[in-house]
């Protein structure tokens, strides 16, 4: 286990040190003290490291994460795990706007609430929120899964593509082209997998599924050869 004090070395010092570790390093577990709400902590990590941040973080923490398991023991600012590729980012508190934005893969877990636009333009990431999400969440979501164990704000899934949305609580309103859909065996199995990964106790049968009505597409995928 290795410990770094952000107050002493700064964000650039921490990120540079983590980026320069060899791929086969045995120093895989790192603890970051005194994050002080600073932005862009542990961004662009491209190694199977385990990183614990002891405190609150600012914008874009864990952005572009690849392979690392990052745990934030506090609240997180805007754009947590933005453009994440793989690995795990886990927020023990709440997360601000645009959590998991444009994420391509991996798992983002938020134990508390997420603000507006959670999962905006998600492209394959899985997001599990233990609390509620704000308005315009999953806006233009293309692929992946958004699981909300609480309530969802207005315009959920506005202009959604093929992402799957699961909500246990109330939905204030659905966005353009987003509709409620039937829950089939494959969806229940997928949801069970995600809840288990996020260490949640909710049952898949308690959720409702939402997705695209496919009325805003520029072409019908069934007639793609005609274009």
pLDDT interval class at 23 (50, 70, 90): confident
Domains of the chain in sequence order: 2-215 (2.160.20.60)
Q: What are phi and psi of 159, to 5 degrees?
A: 55, 35
**pLDDT tops 70 at residue 221:** no
pLDDT interval class at 227 (50, 70, 90): very low
Q: What percentage of the chain exceeds 90 in pLDDT?
A: 92
Query: Tokens for 206?
Result: 């308690």
pLDDT tens-digit readout, 102-123 = 999 999 999 999 999 999 999 9
> Cα separation of 155 and 40, whole Å?
29
Predicted TM-score (pTM) of the model is 0.95
Q: What is the per-residue pLDDT for 171? A: 98
**pLDDT tops 70 at residue 164:** yes
Residues in the chain: 227
CB atoms closer than 10 angstroms to residue 196 = 10
Query: At 3, is the secondary structure helix, strand, or coil?
Result: strand
> Cα separation of 214 and 19, whole Å?
42
For the ranges 63-67, 130-134, 221-225, the lowest mean pLDDT is seen at: 221-225
Per-residue three-class SS string for 160-193? CCCCEEEECCCECCECCCEEEECCCHHHHHHHHH
Q: What is the per-residue pLDDT for 226? A: 55
| Greater pLDDT, 223 or 74 | 74
Q: What is the per-residue pLDDT for 220? A: 62
């Amino acid at each position: 286990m290795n410990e770094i004090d952000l107050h002493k070395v700064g964000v650039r010092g921490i990120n540079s040190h983590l980026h320069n570790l060899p791929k086969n390093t045995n120093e895989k577990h790192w603890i970051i003290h005194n994050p002080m709400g600073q932005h862009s902590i542990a961004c662009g990590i491209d190694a199977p490291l385990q990183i614990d941040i002891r405190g609150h973080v600012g914008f874009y923490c864990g952005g572009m994460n690849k392979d690392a398991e990052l745990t934030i023991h506090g609240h997180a600012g805007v754009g947590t795990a933005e453009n994440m590729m793989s690995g795990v980012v886990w927020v023990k508190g709440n997360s601000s706007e645009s959590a998991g934005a444009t994420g391509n893969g991996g798992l983002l877990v938020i134990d508390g609430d997420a603000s507006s636009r959670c999962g905006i333009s998600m492209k394959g990431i899985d997001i599990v929120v233990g609390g509620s999400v704000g308005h315009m969440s999953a806006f233009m979501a293309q692929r992946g899964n958004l699981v909300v164990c609480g309530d969802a704000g207005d315009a959920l899934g506005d202009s959604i593509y093929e992402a799957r949305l699961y909500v246990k609580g109330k939905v204030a309103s659905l966005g353009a082209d987003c509709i409620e859909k039937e829950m089939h065996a494959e969806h229940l199995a997928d949801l069970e997998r995600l809840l288990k990964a996020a260490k949640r106790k909710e049952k898949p049968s308690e959720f409702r599924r939402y997705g695209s009505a496919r009325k805003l597409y520029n072409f019908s995928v069934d007639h793609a050869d005609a274009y």
